[in-house]
């Protein structure tokens, strides 16, 4: 097998990169360890920044998003027993769109298959070779158990935090920055209609809670829990009781309860590996960086990465000019670190830290009050939440 760009990973980063390259006349093959059904059902992020939604429309992927996605014009910070709304439209004239990552993946897969794109699911034993040569290759075993080799000009590692791409880079060639948070999120997807049209970020003495949604029929809710908690310790009744307690205003939460389609506990970390390039291997998305979900940046950072990378690979493969691939890592990391800081800021401001230090709690409340009362502070939060330009 031979192609111009071998892409490892069929998440939003890998699929969108393949689509953007196709629009530029560049061939690619996407390899994915999971089945198509799995990646289309895997529920992840749901907030699309303004630049992400605009890019999807620009490249012909916005029709279903505009039909089914929910446009949000602000969020609420809930503390001191009240909601404090940050209005994106009033402050910036821009908005976000709630549209599940799995729906973006479905749209991308459909678009690639319609265009004749090659997507190979359920591959295994993936390994990369010749990264510092001009003839890199990917070996793998296909879904039928046959050993295969894919020769390519460039390899894009879009295979997530635990994928093979970053692990193939020598430790001496990579700098890693990592921060572990002393709490986790318990998330549920409930068959219950949302009771609000916008997200609510709650700072509560019992711990953080987030109210969000995925559709007019599905509510997405999160609770801060200890990182060593087991999901078996959280039966449905306990989850709803805690959600009602943390989201209550005037003694009532207003939440609709419903059957849980899924529930799970996710640890929280900040992680950045640099540079995002080693020879002919380029990293994008979660393969290169992780953010805590408080800032809603994960999928949007992946989109920003491949937006840059597609332009850089076009310049390299069609015009034999290497300036954009040389600057890809530095350019992408500027946006990544801004998002890392914003996600850390939101996380630190809203969560209850171990020990519940009263001094730290007063600092958090002071920041929340300033953000809610100051137009400048609210605008800064809105600008980062809605999304900074890709360029």
User: Strand 277-278 relative to strand 281-283: parallel, antiparallel, unpaired?
Assistant: antiparallel
Distance CA 248, CA 257 (A): 14
The beta strand positions in the chain, using DSSP E, are 5-8, 28-31, 47-48, 70-72, 74-79, 82-87, 96-98, 118-120, 124-129, 137-141, 147-151, 154-157, 175-190, 200-202, 209-215, 218-225, 260-274, 277-278, 281-283, 289-290
Has 72 been annotated as catalytic? yes
Specify whether 328 is catalytic: no
Catalytic-role residue among 201, 211, 278, 328 = 201
Q: Is 129 an active-site residue?
A: no
Distance CA 222, CA 214 (A): 13
Query: What does 126-157 look like in DSSP terms, one character per residue?
Result: EEEE-TTSSS-EEEEE-TTS-EEEEE-SEEEE
Going by C-alpha positions, the residue among 11, 64, 20, 18 that lies closest to residue 40 is 11
- Catalytic annotation, pick one of 204, 293, 328, 351: 293
Q: Is the dihedral of CA 88, 94, 95, 100 positive or negative?
A: negative
- The secondary structure element, H or E, covering residue 99 is none
Q: Of the residues 297, 307, 328, 351, which is catalytic?
A: 297
225 Cβ contact partners less than 8 Å away, ≥ 6 residues apart: 183, 184, 185, 186, 207, 234, 265
CB 331 within 8 A of CB 325: no
| Catalytic site residue from 72, 203, 204, 307 | 72
Alpha carbon distance, N-terminus to C-terminus of the chain: 34
Strand order in the sheet with 47-48: 47-48, 96-98, 70-72
Pick from 209, 184, 329: nearest CA to 264: 184
Alpha carbon distance 76, 86 (integer Å):
6
Q: Name the residues annotated as catalytic.
A: 72, 201, 293, 297, 385
């Amino acid at each position: 097998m031979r192609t111009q760009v071998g892409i490892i990973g069929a998440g939003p980063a890998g699929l969108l990169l393949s689509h953007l390259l196709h629009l530029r006349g560049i061939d690619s093959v996407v390899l994915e360890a999971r089945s198509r059904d799995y990646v289309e059902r895997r529920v992840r992020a749901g907030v699309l920044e303004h630049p992400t939604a605009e890019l999807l429309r620009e490249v012909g992927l916005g029709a279903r998003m505009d039909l089914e996605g929910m446009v949000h014009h602000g969020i609420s910070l809930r503390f001191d027993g009240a909601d404090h709304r940050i209005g994106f439209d009033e402050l910036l004239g821009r908005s976000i769109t709630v549209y599940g990552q799995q729906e973006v993946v479905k749209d991308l897969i459909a678009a690639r298959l319609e265009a004749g794109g090659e997507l190979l699911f359920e591959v295994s034993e993936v390994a990369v070779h010749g990264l510092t040569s001009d003839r890199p290759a990917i070996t793998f075993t296909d879904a039928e158990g046959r050993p295969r080799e894919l020769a390519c000009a460039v390899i894009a590692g879009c295979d997530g935090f635990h994928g093979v791409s970053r692990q193939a880079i020598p430790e001496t060639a990579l700098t890693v920055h990592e921060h572990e948070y002393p709490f986790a999120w318990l998330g549920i997807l409930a068959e219950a209609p949302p009771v609000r049209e916008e997200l609510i970020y709650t700072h509560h003495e019992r711990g953080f809670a987030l109210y969000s949604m995925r559709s007019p029929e599905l509510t997405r809710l999160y609770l801060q829990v200890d990182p060593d908690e087991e999901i078996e310790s959280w039966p449905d009744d306990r989850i709803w009781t805690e959600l009602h307690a943390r989201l209550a205003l005037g003694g009532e939460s207003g939440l609709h309860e419903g059957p849980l389609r899924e529930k799970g506990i996710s640890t929280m970390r900040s992680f950045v590996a640099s540079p995002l390039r080693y020879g002919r291997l380029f990293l994008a998305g979660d393969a290169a960086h992780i953010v805590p979900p408080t800032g809603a940046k994960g999928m949007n950072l992946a989109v920003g990465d491949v937006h840059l990378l597609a332009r850089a690979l076009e310049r390299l493969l069609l015009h034999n000019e290497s300036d954009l691939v040389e600057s890809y890592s530095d350019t992408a990391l500027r946006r990544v670190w801004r998002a890392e800081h914003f996600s850390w800021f939101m996380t630190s401001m809203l969560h209850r830290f171990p020990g519940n230090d009263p001094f730290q709690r007063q600092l958090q409340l002071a920041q929340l009050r300033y953000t809610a009362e100051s137009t400048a502070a609210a605008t800064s939060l809105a600008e980062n939440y809605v999304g900074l330009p890709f360029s």
